[in-house]
């Protein structure tokens, strides 16, 4: 039995079949995986697991998320990629004009920013917004030196936990004891899971809520923290309101990541957000998913909203769905009079 199989067997043995994970699993709600069934060795298609981690947040006995991730790694024969070996990132860096056109103006070391793979590879302009957001509360910042992948994706199950911890500890030690801010909930969970002190961007902004800039007008926004930041929903709402926006109630859930459940999940999420003029997201992957929907609702990454309140809208030029701050019509609710129905999502 290999390393991964041993770990799966060990974790499965600890399941007491309480069944608490299943009703909280967003994939299950959409006809996808049943984590309890997986934990008792049932035949289940793990490709429909979105690796949100909710099952392990609910479970008090074992770690179904790790089992799902390991099974995915085995099913897809995933191994540490050559890209990671070359770049320290889980995926290839896409050519993106913002890489040279909108370079973050790092100015000091009050805090360090860890962008994570999605920002680094797919939407580098979001790091510019993060830098602006940090500076708007009066702190200086720089990118964490040798910042790479958080090792959460399934391909890294090849690497022993002790080695993973070593790699990540070394990375975080580059902050020399200063606060490290993660831009993605998955990164936060991975680092905190290894006992490494990091702050998710939502929490950083919330910790500095009295210093946030404020819009000169009020407009209605919906929010989607994303599955990995769902536990920070309350803080995210408070940050959005402190900026001067009106938060319109909506259910929240997951984008479905790259699974076949994603189109339906995304469509439901959009409907739930219809009372706002835009969706504020806290997860860079959510950002790229929402911003790719043809004729979809405009989407803004939380640090972009902060940068916007501080007067910097430089990142909007890189959005697929236009953000039009100077157009009065832009601030109308997307679906006038829309009443969100109880949708399928994750409830916290």
Residues in contact with ligand SF4 by the rule CB under 6 A: 15-21, 25-27, 33, 35-36, 39, 49-55, 58-59, 61-62, 64-65, 68, 185, 226-228, 254-255, 257, 283, 285-286
Question: What backbone torsions phi and psi does residue 177 show, to the nearest 5 degrees?
Answer: 85, -5
By the 8 A CB rule, do 64 and 58 touch?
no
Residue with tokens 């500890």: 169
* Residue 64 or 193 with smaller CB distance to ligand SF4: 64
* Residue 29 or 312 with smaller CB distance to ligand SF4: 29
* Residue 73 or 175 with smaller CB distance to ligand SF4: 73
Nearest one of 143, 150, 142, 186 to 168, comparing CA atoms: 150
- Shortest spacing between CB 287 and ligand SF4, in angstroms: 8
* Residue 147 or 252 with smaller CB distance to ligand SF4: 252
- Distance, in Å, from the CA atom of 139 to the CA atom of 44, rounded to the nearest integer, reads 48
Helix (H, G, I), strand (E, B) or coil at 319: coil
- Shortest spacing between CB 17 and ligand SF4, in angstroms: 5
- Shortest spacing between CB 123 and ligand SF4, in angstroms: 12
- Distance, in Å, from the CA atom of 191 to the CA atom of 182, rounded to the nearest integer, reads 9
CA angle 173, 306, 116 (to 5 degrees): 35
* Residue 27 or 136 with smaller CB distance to ligand SF4: 27
- Shortest spacing between CB 237 and ligand SF4, in angstroms: 17
β-strand pairing of 220-224 with 278-281: parallel
- Shortest spacing between CB 213 and ligand SF4, in angstroms: 25
């Amino acid at each position: 039995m290999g390393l991964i199989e041993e770990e799966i067997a060990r974790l499965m043995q600890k399941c007491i079949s309480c069944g608490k994970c299943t009703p909280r699993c967003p994939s299950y709600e959409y006809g996808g995986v049943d984590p309890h069934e997986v934990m008792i060795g049932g035949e289940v298609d793990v490709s429909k697991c979105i690796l949100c981690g909710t099952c392990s947040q609910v479970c008090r006995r074992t770690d179904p998320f790790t089992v799902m991730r390991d099974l995915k790694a085995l099913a897809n024969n995933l191994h540490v990629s050559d890209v990671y070996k070359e770049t320290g990132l889980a995926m290839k860096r896409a050519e993106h004009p913002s890489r040279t056109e909108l370079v973050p103006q790092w100015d000091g070391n009050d805090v360090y920013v860890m962008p994570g793979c999605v920002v680094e590879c797919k939407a580098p302009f979001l790091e510019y917004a993060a830098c602006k957001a940090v500076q708007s509360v009066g702190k200086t910042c720089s990118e964490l030196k040798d910042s790479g992948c958080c090792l959460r994706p399934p391909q890294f199950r090849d690497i022993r936990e002790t080695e993973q911890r070593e790699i990540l500890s070394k990375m975080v030690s580059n902050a020399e004891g200063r606060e490290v801010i993660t831009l993605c909930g998955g990164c936060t969970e991975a680092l905190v899971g290894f006992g490494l002190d990091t702050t998710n961007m939502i929490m950083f902004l919330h910790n500095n809520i009295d210093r946030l800039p404020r819009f000169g007008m009020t407009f209605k926004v919906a929010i989607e923290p994303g599955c990995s930041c769902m536990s920070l929903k309350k803080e995210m709402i408070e940050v959005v309101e402190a900026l001067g926006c009106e938060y319109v109630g909506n259910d929240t859930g997951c984008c479905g990541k790259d699974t076949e459940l994603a189109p339906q999940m995304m469509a439901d999420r959009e409907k739930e957000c219809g009372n706002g003029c835009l969706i504020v997201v806290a997860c860079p992957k959510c950002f790229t998913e929402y911003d790719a929907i043809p004729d979809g609702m405009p989407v803004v990454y939380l640090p972009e909203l902060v940068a916007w309140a501080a007067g910097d809208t430089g990142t909007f030029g890189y959005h697929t769905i236009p953000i039009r701050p100077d157009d009065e019509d832009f601030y109308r609710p997307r679906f006038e009079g829309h009443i969100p129905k109880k949708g399928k999502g994750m409830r916290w």
